[in-house]
Amino acid sequence: MENDRSSQLSDKDDFTSSFPFIKALMTALFVGISDTILCLCYNLLFRDSSGGFFSSDIINVSSIIFGVNILFLVIGVLYFGFLQAAGKGEVAFSALFAVLTIIGVIAALHVHRSSDPAMNARFHGLLTGVVLIVGISAAAIPLLYHSRKFGQHVL
């Protein structure tokens, strides 16, 4: 019986790993799905530990599921653009998302959600955690993109 070698890198029949656009997009989508699960778990644990229910008009299950995945679809296309644009595009991409994460955390801490200071503080904690999860993961996409094991076993 012949071994299946379709998941190996540089296989002539493996189109997933041979097209840089597909590889960048699939890497970002994998990170997006992973971040969706992390954000949902963080949302659940944060709401449980913060003393009960508070408003979920902005950050809720459906906004996390759709928002994070659509965001990472756009990030994957953006990452491919950075790959094609310059020789050090990956470094610029990671630096850009590190800076955007810092700006996002600062902005999340200054959002005025409610007139109740306690609810405002809880919302700041929830939003800051989601921004950190998404930002750090987006900045790490180049590491997964170049990982041979990730390409062989996941893509």
Domain residue ranges of the chain, discontinuous segments joined by + = 15-153
The predicted-structure confidence for 10-48, as pLDDT tens digits, reads as follows 555 554 556 888 888 999 999 999 999 999 999 888 888
Q: Which token pair is 98?
A: 């590190």
Q: Return the percentage of the chain with pLDDT > 90, whole number.
A: 46
Give the length of the chain.
155
Q: How confident is the model at residue 3 (pLDDT cuts 50, 70, 90)?
A: low
Task: Tell me what pLDDT residue 1 has.
Answer: 45
Report which secondary-structure segment, H or E, holds 32: helix 20-49
- Rounded to whole angstroms, the Cα distance separating 51 from 33 reads 28
The SS3 call for residue 147 is coil
Task: Tell me what pLDDT residue 150 has.
Answer: 80
Q: Can you count the helices (H) and strands (E) in the chain?
A: 7, 0
Judge whether 24 and 16 are in contact, CB under 8 Å: no
Full-model pTM: 0.82
Buried b (16+ CB within 10 A) or exposed e, 133-150: bbbebbbebbebbeeeee
